[in-house]
Amino acid sequence: MADLQATPETRNLLSEMKLLVATGTMIGHQDDLAYGIGWIAPNGKSDIYRICSDYPAVFGWDLGHIETGSPVNLDSVPFADIKTYARQVHAMGAINTFSWHCNNPLTGGSAWDSQTPGVVAGILPGGEQHTRYLQWLDQLAVFFNELTDDNNKPIPLIFRPFHEQTGDWFWWGNTHCTPDEFIRLWQFTVTYLNETKQVHNLLWAYSAADRFQHKKDFMERYPGDRYADIVGFDQYQQPGQSYEDFVEAMKSRISLLAEIAKEHDKLPAITEMGYEQIPYPAWWTHVVWPILKDSGLSYALFWRNAANRPNHYYVPYPGQISEENFVLFYDLPRTLFQKDIQERSLYDHP
């Protein structure tokens, strides 16, 4: 494990997730409890629940802007609410995963502000923004350490920082730092949170963009087996892309990922996926299921249903054209939702 001092519950989560792969692939949704189409909490709940009377097995949240001290994240979800949701998720035996679209520490711009060179180099030890980066990690550590359950134990979670690093749109992307700088940033972050801040409830997910053709491209910025628990990538069906093309592209990357996961003893996942607006009524059973069914993936996380951005949604809501097909997808024995995993006691340590 990336954290040799991980809590028993965190270790147990990883072992249980590994065992669960034999049963199926968990289905996840970003910001599922926070908002959806036509509602924002507390006036509504889970678009997936509205359709299936069940929740996803994996819930994604984003910590972007926590580093600024802001009370709300980059998509306007209050961090206090994210904590409440994450506790609910844990109480129902499901899994939380956190990404971090953190601002550019040099310019103060967003995660996508990638034009100024040298940002990663600047936050490494010895760099001019290093102290600022430590303050950011301190804020993260407070959040993770405060995320406790009813027995005051830290809630295990998946942390997926610096994602899509094989692309160039974030300031930590592949054309903005060398592989060595990226790897040093990752390793420093793990060590600082684990050892200096005593955060011991994290599984670390190394999550690439769909910009890799060969194992070596994926592995170019991999921080090493000592620094990751989960390996994954993000890929979306693009407008105009044929279904056959998308299924093929996904399958060939998944087979590379499966080899990597096996060789390095890591858990494979699709850390982000989707087809914006799901314009194809049978997308779930005809496109997603062929991709997932023999994949050996732990989970696939579908992106958010933005309440305030019409047309930016990735799972159906009541009335959406793929709603009925999603229920068929839900009913497949090897797509795992909250009710399928609640009895597994993923966190219990005998």
Q: Which of residues 78-137 bind ligand BMA (CB under 6 A)?
A: 101
Number of Cα atoms under 13 Å in the Cβ half of residue 165: 29
- Considering only 32, 47, 67, 75, the residue that binds ligand BMA (CB under 6 A) is 75
- Distance in Å, CB of 304 to ligand BMA, minimum: 6
Q: Is the dihedral of CA 299, 305, 306, 307 positive or negative?
A: negative
- Distance in Å, CB of 306 to ligand BMA, minimum: 6
- Distance in Å, CB of 101 to ligand BMA, minimum: 5
Contact 14, 349 (CB under 8 A): no
Contact partners, residue 198, CB within 8 Å, separation at least 6? 141, 145
Read off the DSSP letter of residue 349.
Answer: -
Cβ-based nearer residue to ligand BMA, 90 or 304: 304
- Distance in Å, CB of 224 to ligand BMA, minimum: 27
Contact 328, 285 (CB under 8 A): yes
Cβ-based nearer residue to ligand BMA, 162 or 303: 303
- Distance in Å, CB of 32 to ligand BMA, minimum: 13
Cβ-based nearer residue to ligand BMA, 112 or 135: 112
Distance, CA of 302 to CA of 195 (rounded, Å):
32
Q: How many residues does this entry show for the chain?
A: 350
Size of the site for ligand BMA (CB under 6 A): 6
- Distance in Å, CB of 91 to ligand BMA, minimum: 24
- Distance in Å, CB of 303 to ligand BMA, minimum: 6
Residue 101 in tokens = 């679209």
Residue 269 in tokens = 């996942």
Cβ-based nearer residue to ligand BMA, 262 or 309: 309
Cβ-based nearer residue to ligand BMA, 34 or 267: 34
- Distance in Å, CB of 110 to ligand BMA, minimum: 9
Cβ-based nearer residue to ligand BMA, 16 or 113: 113
Cβ-based nearer residue to ligand BMA, 185 or 307: 307
- Distance in Å, CB of 183 to ligand BMA, minimum: 24
62 binds ligand BMA (CB under 6 A): yes
Site string for ligand BMA, 245-284 (x = CB under 6 A): ----------------------------------------
- Considering only 163, 176, 200, 304, the residue that binds ligand BMA (CB under 6 A) is 304
Cβ-based nearer residue to ligand BMA, 75 or 181: 75
Cis before 42 (ω within 30): yes
Contact 238, 183 (CB under 8 A): no
Beta strands in 157-264 (DSSP E): 157-160, 202-209, 230-236
Distance, CA of 92 to CA of 87 (rounded, Å):
9
Query: Which pairing describes strands 35-36 and 39-40: parallel, antiparallel, or unpaired?
Result: antiparallel
CA 11 to centroid of chain Cα atoms: 18
Cβ-based nearer residue to ligand BMA, 303 or 347: 303
163 binds ligand BMA (CB under 6 A): no
Contact partners, residue 147, CB within 8 Å, separation at least 6? 83, 86, 87, 154, 155, 157, 201
Residue 73 in tokens = 């994240």
74 binds ligand BMA (CB under 6 A): yes
Read off the DSSP letter of residue 148.
Answer: B
Contacts with ligand BMA, residue ranges (CB under 6 A): 62, 74-75, 101, 303-304
